[in-house]
Amino acid sequence: MKAILMTALGKPEVLQLQEVPQPIPTNKEILVKIFAAGVNPIDTKIRQRGTFFPEQMPAILGCDGAGIVEAVGNDVQKFGVGDEVYFCYGGLGASPGNYAEYIIVDERW
């Protein structure tokens, strides 16, 4: 899958389109195919100043997203394949964000 990775601090040029492994949901996670990724002001600030977890660079930014559930973990109860969802999750450096084709999101979010 393709994702936009933040490779260093700085201007938009530090964001690079790269191939990354597609995530697989486990337990209470859902795999969302992204159809819309918001550009939140926090994304710009993180790109310029750094993630909350600098040791986990490169990072996939993007907190606000919407898409369709493509797969679910074994313990997911709230969502099924084909459900339309929106969320605010990830993108701060620890969990990958939604500047990607797919994202894993805990069903709570």
Residues 97 and 81 sit within 8 Å (Cβ to Cβ): no
Q: DSSP character for 100? A: B
pLDDT tens-digit map of 49-102 = 998 888 888 999 999 999 999 999 999 999 999 999 999 999 988 899 999 999
Find where tokens 């918001």 sit: 38
The mean per-residue pLDDT over the stretch 29-41 comes to: 94
Structure tokens at 97: 């964000």
Contacts of residue 25, Cβ cutoff 8 Å, sequence gap at least 6: 31, 71, 72, 73, 76, 104
